[in-house]
Structure 1
Amino acid sequence: MKRTAVESFLSGLPSIRALVVGDLMLDEYLWGNADRISPEAPVQVVDVKRHDLRLGGAGNVINNLLRLGCQVDVASVLGEDEDGKLLRRRLQELQVGIDGVQQVPGRTTSRKTRVLASNQQMLRIDRESCEAILGMQEDALVAYIRRQMNHVDVVLLSDYLKGVLTPLVLREIIDAGRQAGIPVVVDPKGSDYSKYKGATLLTPNRKEAQLASQIEITDDATLRVAGRKLCRELDLDVLVLTRSEEGMSLFKRNGTEVDLPTEAREVYDVSGAGDTVLCLFGVGLAGGLSLEDTAYLANVAAGVVVGKVGTSTVSPHEILEVVEGQHLDTDRKIKSRCLISAEMQQARERGRTIVFTNGCFDLLHVGHVKYLQKARRLGDLLVLGLNSDTSIRRLKGAKRPFIDQEERAHILAALDCVDYVVIFDEDTPLELIREVRPHILVKGGDYQPDQVVGKEIVESYGGHVELITFVDGKSTTNIVEKILQAYQE
């Protein structure tokens, strides 16, 4: 996946609204030292030094979505107890929509308390209700979810078998998603996957797939048999079977299978990696990515999460850092329109002088190079606005350009004097200049100052225009004429 495509997708995440439905809980961590044995019984005494209370279960899915920048609503059922009130307050503080969260008298809100000493978990205490929610609670939950289908881009189901996602609730959600054309992505649990039939996508791991398919997975062949069976019998668009250190395998409705190797990283803790995969597939489908590109980003994100200790999330910046490390320097310099404004704001805050120029740069020659080197010397960084193929055809005719925009962008990005390359589709770079807000606007010496597009904008905030003379006799037209003459002879 191209870096610019990753940038463009990640920058669009704040516009995605996700609905999370499932089992909310509190994860409590008590950290301490265990240096002695209790006189009351042959057990270790933990001297608690630190206490941490986090959103768990479906709450970790919410945390992942928020870290990615998405808007989030949640639907669930809690107890009408102090933990239920606390959980609602935490969600409100995070600006999560909680109109779909019910509180029921007599139900215990899930709290899992983990006692840790010397970086080892010594004990876990669970306080929760696991019985299925009642019919009236199911009806209220379903009614809310059906109303929200007109306002969300994706539904993520986080099932921990605590009674919220009953077979009826699941059936109604999946049917509503199909009717509205909204993807329903599920992190499944248990051995009976029939309740998830018709969902868009499921993300079981190898152990879960073995349990649900009733096929013992011992090698690649049996894994594929299990994956195909689940995808077919559950009427899924795609099954994503996560394979731990072996990456993941995708089984599509049309019979296509795709394997993705894991992103090699040092593994510290796999907690929460499944939630991260669920979220990336959800927002990828909502954001219009292809399944392969979505799987690639989910793989990258999961690789970041397992490199952290404790249930963790991943930010767009962390994903982009990994993607950058997989590409050449030229890719790093090619920026999408949606991100260049933020990049330049950071540059201004650091006191850097921004120079901007633009052009087609079709058949790069020494005149272009000398021009760009002179422009770069005027400031601290040079942003080059590059005409797209379609804009060149409008300006220069159907036979141009000779070299497509991706190749031209990489050739220009390979020059030391060019810091950023941004492709634009318009006939002029006026809108791009508004986004970059350069201190210095550079154009060729064959222009008069008043002819330079963007002059008024740049001068309005104290910037100025510089004209640089091209090297005589060096032009794309001259190169084309020499080639034609040589081959005609």
Structure 2
Amino acid sequence: MTFTRNCLGNLAKCRILVIGDVMLDHFIWGHVRRISPEAPVPIVEVTKEEFYPGGAANVARNISPFSPNTHLMGRVGKDMAADKLRTLLIEDRVDPAPLLVHETLPTISKARVSARQQQIVRVDREKLMPLADSELAEIEQRLRKLAPNLDAIILEDYGKGFVTTALMELVAKIAAEHKLIVTVDPSPRNPLPWAGVSLVKPNRLEAFAAAGLEDHLLPGPPLQNAELLEVGRVLLEKWNVASVLVTLGEHGMMLFERGKEPHHIPTRAREVYDVSGAGDTAIALLTLALAAGFSLQDAADIANHASGIVVGKLGTATLTPDELLAAFASKP
């Protein structure tokens, strides 16, 4: 396919709501010169620290450079982490207004401490609790208000409690009423019935786990991998959806559509430095392209190009519209 600046204009018109487990990512870098006299642990002298929107918030952050109409719904606490997350979202042109505030739960945050290019420790703040009926009622009220001004919804599940069967059914019902696209990035820790959504995008590990099959990493092209083909067939039936897109890391993506032959999209990554966040980029650009009217195969191709860019960057990275244009322009 060809991808031009006019295509970017089509993406910019799309209105996307991301729903899911939102987090605050905190990165701390430093030097280690000595061991603590208090315990046999290294002392990290901090040289740099940064904060980024994480989880479902990172998906929204991947959409916002392409569309000014990006909204985020999730759950945060009454704490400084929530204040920091809102500030970052506004800086990234993501609307944080749909976020729910919980009186007692903390905002999920993950602090990673690294020295000499190696992570030493990760400190998590989270308390997992499924949505209460009162929260679901509030979500329905906000979703019905937003839905007439949306083109698509992304359900981003990290298995932290926000995405439940009741939430999924509510989203599918309201989306059907307004003819909205619904895509899902599932969590293997939270198997849900996804009937009623447009597409589910697991990675390879998640796909095999959901299908209940073992991946023997058979050699050869993905289209000749009998195990992978069986996974696609099983998931289309199990989830009762029209399409499943399995991301395969360095092997690209495999698209399974009901009634059609599987379609393989080779990777576009030139160099891989960090795969963290690549799945967030894939679901973000895939959904944005579908909302803009691209075919499923072309939307997957756009998502594949976008993922190929972010894996060439360190950390929780995003991409710019110009980078995506350049990636297509350099395609052989």
**Counterpart-to-counterpart distance in 2, 1:25 and 1:7:** 33
Query: Partner of 2:300 in structure 1?
Result: 295
Secondary structure of the structure 2 residue equivalent to 1:148: helix
Match of 2:44 among 24, 43, 46: 46
**Counterpart-to-counterpart distance in 1, 2:205 and 2:215:** 8
Gaps of 5+ in 2: 219-224
Gaps of 5+ in 1: 328-489
Q: Which deviates further from its counterpart, 269-278 or 80-89? A: 80-89
Query: Partner of 1:246 in structure 2?
Result: 251
Match of 2:181 among 180, 183, 190: 183
Secondary structure of the structure 2 residue equivalent to 1:99: coil
Match of 1:325 among 319, 322, 330: 330
Query: Partner amino acid for 2:331?
Result: Q
Q: Deviations over 1:247-268 (max 9, x none)?
A: 1100002233101111141100
Secondary structure of the structure 2 residue equivalent to 1:194: coil
Query: Partner of 2:289 in structure 1?
Result: 284
| Residues 390-469 of structure 1: pairs in structure 2 closer than 5 A | none
- Tell me by how many angstroms 1:166 deviates: 1.6
Match of 1:105 among 100, 103, 106: 103
Query: Partner amino acid for 2:2?
Result: K
Query: Partner of 1:209 in structure 2?
Result: 207
Secondary structure of the structure 1 residue equivalent to 2:98: strand
Is 1:227–2:232 an aligned residue pair? yes
Is 1:72–2:70 an aligned residue pair? yes
- Tell me by how many angstroms 1:269 deviates: 0.3
Secondary structure of the structure 2 residue equivalent to 1:69: coil
Query: Partner amino acid for 1:230?
Result: L
Query: Partner amino acid for 1:10?
Result: L
**Counterpart-to-counterpart distance in 1, 2:93 and 2:120:** 34
Query: Partner amino acid for 1:50?
Result: K
- Tell me by how many angstroms 1:145 deviates: 1.4
Query: Partner of 2:16 in structure 1?
Result: 18
**Counterpart-to-counterpart distance in 1, 2:209 and 2:144:** 31
**Counterpart-to-counterpart distance in 2, 1:100 and 1:19:** 9
Q: Would the aligned equivalents of 2:61 and 2:94 in 1 still touch at CA under 8 Å?
A: no
Q: Deviations over 1:266-314 (max 9, x none)?
A: 1000011001100111011100001111111111111100000111111
Query: Partner of 1:31 in structure 2?
Result: 29
Q: Would the aligned equivalents of 2:130 and 2:164 in 1 still touch at CA under 8 Å?
A: yes
Query: Partner of 1:131 in structure 2?
Result: 129
Q: Would the aligned equivalents of 1:110 and 1:127 in 2 still touch at CA under 8 Å?
A: yes
Query: Partner amino acid for 2:232?
Result: G
TM-score by length of 1: 0.64
Query: Partner amino acid for 1:30?
Result: I
TM-score by length of 2: 0.94
- Tell me by how many angstroms 1:197 deviates: 2.3
Query: Partner of 1:118 in structure 2?
Result: 116
**Counterpart-to-counterpart distance in 2, 1:174 and 1:108:** 28
- Tell me by how many angstroms 1:193 deviates: 3.5
Query: Partner amino acid for 1:183?
Result: I
CA RMSD of aligned residues (A): 1.5
Query: Partner of 2:152 in structure 1?
Result: 154
Q: Would the aligned equivalents of 1:79 and 1:104 in 2 still touch at CA under 8 Å?
A: yes
Q: Would the aligned equivalents of 2:27 and 2:112 in 1 still touch at CA under 8 Å?
A: yes
Greater per-residue helix proportion: 1
Q: Which has the higher contact order (CA 8 A, sep 6+)?
A: 2
Q: Would the aligned equivalents of 1:262 and 1:303 in 2 still touch at CA under 8 Å?
A: yes
Q: Would the aligned equivalents of 1:193 and 1:234 in 2 still touch at CA under 8 Å?
A: no
Given the superposition, is the C-alpha separation of residues 304 and 92 from structure 1 closer, same or farther in structure 2, using an over 3 Å criterion? closer
Given the superposition, is the C-alpha separation of residues 175 and 103 from structure 1 closer, same or farther in structure 2, using an over 3 Å criterion? same
Q: Which deviates further from its counterpart, 84-93 or 181-190? A: 84-93
- Tell me by how many angstroms 1:14 deviates: 1.9
Given the superposition, is the C-alpha separation of residues 144 and 112 from structure 1 closer, same or farther in structure 2, using an over 3 Å criterion? same
Is 1:310–2:315 an aligned residue pair? yes
Secondary structure of the structure 1 residue equivalent to 2:145: helix
**Counterpart-to-counterpart distance in 1, 2:173 and 2:238:** 17
Given the superposition, is the C-alpha separation of residues 86 and 2 from structure 1 closer, same or farther in structure 2, using an over 3 Å criterion? closer
**Counterpart-to-counterpart distance in 2, 1:264 and 1:83:** 34
**Counterpart-to-counterpart distance in 2, 1:323 and 1:56:** 27
Query: Partner amino acid for 1:201?
Result: L
**Counterpart-to-counterpart distance in 2, 1:299 and 1:247:** 7
Q: Would the aligned equivalents of 1:25 and 1:110 in 2 still touch at CA under 8 Å?
A: yes
Q: Would the aligned equivalents of 2:184 and 2:201 in 1 still touch at CA under 8 Å?
A: yes
Match of 1:275 among 274, 280, 296: 280
